[in-house]
Amino acid sequence: MAKTLPVKKRLAAALKRAKGVPAWIIVRTGQEVRVSHRRRNWRNSGRIKP
């Protein structure tokens, strides 16, 4: 499948949103929030949601 520009832009945006949680948030919440809920297998799930 050839990646057109709109597809590449959506994938790049999803990749940015699927980053980890910042360290200051982990510290502020007392390590309750450790991982982003969008992170796990975001490429393999149907639509590009994150």
**Most distant pair of Cα atoms in the chain: their distance:** 44
- What residue spans define the domains of the chain? 1-50
Sign of CA dihedral 13, 16, 18, 22: negative
pLDDT value at position 23? 92
pLDDT value at position 46? 63
- Tell me the pLDDT tens digit for each residue of 1-49: 688 999 899 888 888 887 888 899 999 999 888 887 777 766 666 666 5
- The answer as to CATH 1.10.3470 being correct for domain 1-50 is no
Q: Tokens standing for 2?
A: 């050839």
pLDDT value at position 4? 92
